[in-house]
Amino acid sequence: MLGRLLAVGSEGGGYATLVPTGGARKAACAAADEASEQLGRQGARQAARKADDEWIRLYRAVSPEEVDDIVKSGMFRPTVGSLEGKWFTTTPELAARWGKLLYKRKPYWIVEAKVQQSVLSRMFHHERLDRIGPAYYTYPEQLSYIRFVDRLDYIPWLP
């Protein structure tokens, strides 16, 4: 007999190697170490891909004109008199704070969007914009990656 087939496996997959009969224990340990290392690299790559594909919810305060455009087109795009990109934040409450600041006593809406983590990580981030909270700026070329989810039926109450 030339050797035995040793199989090593995990949830992420399996790996097999031929182990010679002489010194089988030492060879089996070496094969197991090699398999674990290979499966570990595959698992890390799969976990990183999964994290990049994760969708993150973002919120934005918008004028009635902008919300109409978003609902009609299903996307975020520059509007007349606005920045070419868009600012988003992480909660409806923070979006309401910006709405209160920007629109004073004029009406505004809060819209919910989602973006993949891989895109979010490339957006400009400010930890405490206007001393309110975290905000992400989407550059014009990134707007097509932002998915409109819905316009909220409420605006969070602010003191």
Average pLDDT for residues 97-101, to the nearest whole number? 95
Q: Select 55-151's CATH number: 3.20.170, 3.30.70, 3.30.465, 3.40.1000.
A: 3.20.170
The domains of the chain are located at 3-52, 55-151
Cβ atoms of residues 111 and 67 within 8 Å: yes
Do the beta carbons of residue 59 and residue 95 sit within 8 Å? yes
Reported pTM: 0.66
Per-residue model confidence (pLDDT) at position 11 = 45
Identify the pLDDT of residue 159: 72
**What is the per-residue pLDDT across 84-93, written as a single tens digit (0 to 9) for each?**
899 999 999 9
